Amino acid sequence: MVLLPTTVVGSYSVPEWLERLKTEYYQRRISAQHLAEIHEVAIKAAVKDQELAGIDIVSDGELRRDNDVDYFLARIPGVHIPQRAKTDYFDYYEAEVTRPLPELPVPASRGGPEPAVSASMGGPDTSTSLGLAADFRFTRQLTAKPVKFSFTGPFSLSRRIRDEAYEEPGDLVRALARRLNAEARELAAAGADLLQIDEPFLAGYPEQVDLAVEAVNLVTEDVPVTWALHVCYGNRYARPSWEGHYDFLFPAVKAARVDQIVLEFARKGLDDLRLIRQHGWDKWLGLGVIDVKSSEVEPAELVASRIRRALEYVPPGRLMINPDCGLRHLAPEVARQKLRAMVAGAALVRAELAGSESPRTPRPESQGGDTT
């Protein structure tokens, strides 16, 4: 792994034509097979864009997903969605559970066949898989670079479900976590080695951080991959859903069985870096250095200055460089320019770190006399 590796949070710029075609699909004007082919074209382009920008760890851009909730809820058995047709693909479903979600009797099969796809709405015709392993396998064969694969966490998914099944609200979160754990097992069996849990709703419910961390640990249980946890302040329509600081996340997040936390700093400022030192966070930090809610492209030197500041709190061997959140709402050319600026800024600091390592002066060999 290169020093100060660059990556993305997950989503990539959604072209306008893809937005229109997704809406066509939800209005049943094009088939699921047609949309699947369109997705493959878009994902290939997104991966290529990341490679050309110099990103070290790429993603599929989450371009199959119309948003960070519906794609999963539509595939989870037991989640009832009364109306699946949409007038705009950004709309959220009115999802509900009226009885406890079916439990998996055994862990999901490792490396089994891909789930069948429903001809009507594209959801997997299976009770044991959400189809994420197949999504990963497609991306894996497109690139030689490491691939990060992300999915929305159980706490955030639960915020979009009307719960009429559980007496204890936390039980729905735990049930979703167990379902995602089964999916993570299939992803690991498919070769995924860097998985990220996204919890974009957690900042809006800071008093429930302990429940969210408990659920994260259910998701990661017995899945031997590198795990990241992304917590932001929301990115709906390129606007934050909440404001505040990451104080609520600490020290609870230290109990999360993850290898990295991925946080936003570019938009909010770098003051919350103090929490890393204050609470002794000794794992990786994914440092948000690109503001995805602004179309203004950051100069490479500004990116570099943010990285230098973070190095006051985190050693370079535990720092990963990424945008604040997903790039979904940025225009394609803006997204490309921002990624190039991020890579250039990281390269500046990487070169500085390499130059600061002065070579050792070899001690003179003793020839039997005085060497002073």
> In this predicted structure, what is the pLDDT of residue 108?
44
Mean pLDDT within 41-61: 98
> Please, what is the average pLDDT of the chain?
89
Q: How far is CA 357 from the centre of its chain?
A: 33
> In this predicted structure, what is the pLDDT of residue 255?
98
For residue range 231-289, what is the model confidence (pLDDT) as tens digits?
999 887 778 778 899 999 999 999 999 999 999 999 999 999 999 999 999 999 999 99
For residue range 144-202, what is the model confidence (pLDDT) as tens digits?
999 999 999 999 999 999 999 999 989 999 999 999 999 999 999 999 999 999 999 99
Topology given in CATH for the domain delimited by 16-102+134-356: TIM Barrel (3.20.20)
pLDDT at 79 over 80: yes
**Residue 15 Ramachandran class (φ > 0 left, ψ -120 to 50 alpha, else beta):** beta
Q: Give the integer Cα–Cα distance in Å for 111 and 190.
A: 6
Six token digits for residue 2: 């290169």
Its pTM surpasses 0.75: yes
User: Is 142 strand, coil or helix?
Assistant: coil
For residue range 230-244, what is the model confidence (pLDDT) as tens digits?
999 988 777 877 889
> In this predicted structure, what is the pLDDT of residue 259?
98
Short-list 178, 205, 173, 23, CA closest to 102: 178
pLDDT at 118 over 90: no
Task: Give the burial class of 285: count Cβ atoms within 10 A of its Cβ; 0-12 exposed, 13-18 middle, 19 or more buried.
Answer: buried
> In this predicted structure, what is the pLDDT of residue 340?
98
Q: Give the integer Cα–Cα distance in Å for 112 and 135.
A: 14
**Residue 152 Ramachandran class (φ > 0 left, ψ -120 to 50 alpha, else beta):** beta
Q: How big, in percent rounded to 5, are the helix, strand and coil portions of the chain?
A: 40, 15, 50
Q: What is the DSSP letter of 206?
A: G
pLDDT band for position 4 (50/70/90)? Answer: very high
For residue range 204-215, what is the model confidence (pLDDT) as tens digits?
999 999 999 999
Q: How far is CA 288 from the centre of its chain?
A: 12
List Cα–Cα distances, 163 to 48, 101, 260, in angstroms.
41, 11, 31
Domains of the chain by residue range: 16-102+134-356
C-alpha angle 36/51/316, rounded to 5°?
Answer: 125
Query: How many CB atoms are located within 10 Å of the residue 273 CB?
Result: 21
> In this predicted structure, what is the pLDDT of residue 357?
61
Cα dihedral 14, 329, 19, 75, rounded to 10, equals 80
